[in-house]
């Protein structure tokens, strides 16, 4: 912490000296440097996760569902988190109690899904509890989807260039 304070003081001193000499180019560079230091500092202390876009154009990640690691693809077009039957079984969800009565459209076509609630869904530092989700029958999907039932709980999410930034509330 003291190292960060020292860096900020030095940057402020440098910016002040530059302003005193009224060199607009140096003022701009000093301001950009200070902004970048502050941005990196806020990202390192906040609940944020950055995901790089894959070669296929998707934002793929590894989540923890009830403590079990599961690959997922971010899908802002999905109303809910959607799990494959295999992932739901691995996460210990009560599949024998589910009713497949929700109509859904997948990349493979129309199917039915079952509603359930995930005790815990974590992506890096972002942890949400009691997340509504759907499970599709065995063999209906190949990929788990991180949909809006998770994304809507975040403070913000945005795509810049080839990176998706997910930010949780402090």
Q: Are 31 and 56 within one domain?
A: no
Q: Are 80 and 145 within one domain?
A: yes
Pairing mode of beta strands 60-65, 109-123: antiparallel
Q: Are 155 and 89 within one domain?
A: yes
Total domains in the fold of the chain:
2
Interatomic CA distance for residues 84 and 70, integer angstroms:
10
Q: Are 68 and 121 within one domain?
A: yes
Q: Are 54 and 37 within one domain?
A: no
Interatomic CA distance for residues 131 and 81, integer angstroms:
8
**Phi and psi for 37 in degrees, rounded to 5?**
-60, -45
Q: Are 60 and 127 within one domain?
A: yes
Instruction: List pLDDT tens digits, range 5-58.
Output: 666 666 666 666 555 566 667 666 766 776 666 666 555 546 899 999 999 999
Q: Are 56 and 71 within one domain?
A: yes
Q: Model-level pTM?
A: 0.73
Which range marks the domain in which residue 123 is found?
Answer: 49-167
Q: Are 18 and 57 within one domain?
A: no
Q: Are 106 and 132 within one domain?
A: yes
**What is the pLDDT at residue 24?**
67
pLDDT greater than 60 at residue 147? yes
Q: Are 19 and 99 within one domain?
A: no
Place of tokens 């002040």: 16
pLDDT greater than 60 at residue 81? yes
Of 39-43, 82-86, 150-154, give the lowest mean pLDDT range: 39-43
Instruction: List pLDDT tens digits, range 119-133.
Output: 999 999 999 999 999
Residue 170: pLDDT band (50, 70, 90) is confident
Report which DSSP code applies to 152: T
């Amino acid at each position: 912490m003291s190292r960060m304070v020292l860096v900020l003081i030095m940057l402020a001193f440098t910016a002040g000296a530059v302003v005193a000499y009224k060199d607009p180019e140096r003022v701009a560079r000093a301001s950009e440097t200070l902004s970048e230091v502050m941005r990196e500092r806020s990202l390192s202390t906040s609940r944020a996760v950055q995901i790089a876009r894959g070669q296929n154009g998707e934002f793929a990640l590894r989540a923890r569902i009830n403590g079990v690691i599961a690959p997922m693809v971010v899908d802002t077009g999905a109303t809910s988190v959607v799990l494959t039957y295999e992932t739901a079984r691995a996460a210990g969800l009560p599949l024998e109690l589910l009713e497949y009565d929700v109509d859904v459209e997948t990349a493979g076509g129309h199917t039915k899904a079952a509603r359930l609630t995930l005790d815990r869904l974590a992506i890096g530092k972002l942890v949400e509890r009691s997340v509504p989700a759907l499970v599709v029958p065995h063999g209906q999907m190949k990929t788990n989807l991180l949909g809006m039932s998770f994304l809507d709980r975040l403070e913000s999410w945005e795509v810049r260039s080839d990176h998706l930034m997910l930010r949780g509330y402090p």
